[in-house]
Amino acid sequence: MIDITHDESRGRFACIVDGYHCELDYRVDGQRMVILHTGVPHQVGGRGIAADLTCAALDTARSRGWKVLPLCSYAEAYVRRHPEYSDLLA
């Protein structure tokens, strides 16, 4: 399990893995979380880090009663593969 931090003022979920910074950026538009970008350097790719970041974002949106608009292609694909989050789609 990786340690994910949530910097709400910057609209970012982030973690450091093997010295590499990984992130998911979003903005809040009313009661909607708009997921803009998920970034995981290729050096630490393939470990499920983007999935963990996306899950943290979606769980936060759910806990706050927000809908989600995944503009990031990774986040959009993640929601398609995990129908338990489909109710969050804006």
Q: How many CB atoms lie within 10 A of CB 43?
A: 9
- Token pair in block for residue 73: 């292609």
pTM of the model: 0.95
Q: Name every residue whose Cβ is closer than 8 Å to that of residue 59 and which is 6 or more positions away in sequence.
A: none
What count of Cα atoms within 13 Å lies in the side-chain half-sphere of residue 9? 0
Ordered per-residue pLDDT tens for the chain, 90 residues: 799 999 999 999 999 999 999 999 999 999 999 999 999 999 999 999 999 999 999 999 999 999 999 999 999 999 999 999 999 998
> What is the pLDDT at residue 45?
96
Which domains does the chain show, CATH number per domain?
5-88 (3.40.630.30)
- What was the pLDDT predicted at 90? 84
What's 13's DSSP letter? E
